[in-house]
Amino acid sequence: MDLGREFCEGTDMDAKTPPPLNVTPKIEDGFFLGVVLTVSIAFAMVIEPFFAAVLWGVIAAIVFAPLNRQILSAIPKHPNGAALITLLLILGVVIVPAFVLGAALLQEAAYFYGKIQSGEINFVRIFSDTIAALPDWLRPYVRRLGLTNFYAAQEMVTKGVTSSFRTLAAQAFQIGQSAFSFLVALGVMLYLTYFLLRDGEALSQRIATAAPLRPSQRTALIEQFVIVIRATIKGSIVVAIVQGLIGGIVFWALGIQGALLWGVLMGAFSLLPAVGTGLIWVPVAIYLFATGAIVKAVILVVCGVLVIGMVDNVLRPILVGRDTRIPDYVVLISTLGGLELFGFSGIVIGPVIAALFIATWNIFTRMRGADAVVEG
């Protein structure tokens, strides 16, 4: 026994035993990261049916956050009350007018559809009369474009931007068919908006802390995301509303039937740069010229070019600022692609993804430049 004790002491086993490791093994880190990704994907699948509601709730909270902060500064000890007041303002300024406009638009569309069904409005006859009334010098150009036949012209337009807006119309029709689901989604959106207004800053801080990014990258991405959301809403939706409103008033003043419907269509098409509202008022102006209503046609062209068309150039820089504006061709492609992929929500999702793509590459380029300076 003594010999064994001496042997153990002589070998100094305690000295040769490695100290316990305090660093978590890489395999455990990898497994936990897999758990995090799996749970996150599962959560995304759970909330996927309410994707649009969640998206618009986040958008509403971001857009109206400055207003909520102003109200909170007036009642600093009542964050619940400030969020509730902001939510009521959203209801009164955005939701209720949208429902009223939607009801009036449905009534107008039903009236128009009835006239089309009865034959009182015949697009083939209108198109033929317009082509026949064109001056002789213009007809060769029209014939060269293949627009002498109504159905050929209709097919040409269909191959262009209208496919995306058919998707938009289908989304609106589905909303009308499933009113209960729409009301549930609206309730989820408003409920989420309330809590995001109340706890948004704390939640954004937690998300920023959890994101596996450098502090400078994290701050730049979050700031850019907020800027892009606000710029998209103010620079696209607000401008679309103003252009549609002006266009509808001009059509109503000229006595053109369906002024509300045409105004809404101009607002929708104004989301497409370059072409925009001209897809609506230019054919109407051509028809007025062809049918002899010269004065109305001239007034419509002047208002379309100098009033409706200039709203985008004047109002958008004031609302958004020139630094955050992305190229028109990027807006056009991303808006059409967003509509095709996400339906109505793609109006916002498409440009936001495009703007974040540009912002991310700008941040990456600045980082590469800074690294090059340091190495130099």
161-192 confidence digits (pLDDT tens): 445 445 555 555 555 556 677 788 888 899 99
Three-class DSSP category at 374: helix
Per cent of the chain over pLDDT 70 is 70
Q: Is residue 375 predicted with pLDDT exceeding 50?
A: yes
Residue 116: band (very low, low, confident or very high) from pLDDT cuts 50, 70, 90: low
DSSP state of 24: P
CA atoms of 184 and 179, how far apart (whole Å): 9
What does the pLDDT read at residue 317? Answer: 67
- Residue 326: which residues within 8 A CB-CB, separation 6 or more? 351, 354, 355, 358
* Phi/psi at 24 (5° precision): -65, 130
User: How many residues make up the chain in this entry?
Assistant: 376
Q: Which residues contact 163 (CB under 8 A, 6 or more apart)?
A: 340
Buried b (16+ CB within 10 A) or exposed e, 214-233: eeeebebbbebbebbbbbbb
Cα 195 to Cα 175: distance, rounded to the nearest angstrom: 25
Q: Which pLDDT value is given to residue 13?
A: 47
| Cβ atoms < 10 Å from Cβ of 203 | 13
User: Per the structure block, which two tokens stand in for 163?
Assistant: 């496919």
**pLDDT(3) > 50:** no
Q: pLDDT (tens digit, 9 = 90+) per residue, 196-247?
A: 999 888 887 787 777 777 777 777 777 777 777 777 777 777 888 888 888 8
CA angle 338, 107, 273 (to 5 degrees): 30
The Cα 60–Cα 125 span in angstroms is 45
pLDDT digits (tens, 9 = 90+) for 245-276: 888 898 888 888 778 888 888 887 777 766 67
Q: Are 293 and 262 in contact (CB under 8 A)?
A: no
Model confidence at 153: pLDDT above 90: no
Q: Encode pLDDT of 11-41 as tens digits.
A: 444 445 555 544 456 787 778 888 888 998 9
How far is it, in rounded angstroms, from Cα 284 to Cα 150? 15
- How close are the terminal C-alpha atoms of the chain, in Å? 69
Q: Please give the residue that has the higher pLDDT: either 129 or 269.
A: 269
Tell me how far apart the alpha carbons of residues 100 and 205 are, in angstroms, rounded to a whole number.
38
pLDDT, position 105: 76
Given a contact cutoff of 8 angstroms between Cβ atoms, the answer to whether 233 and 219 are in contact is no
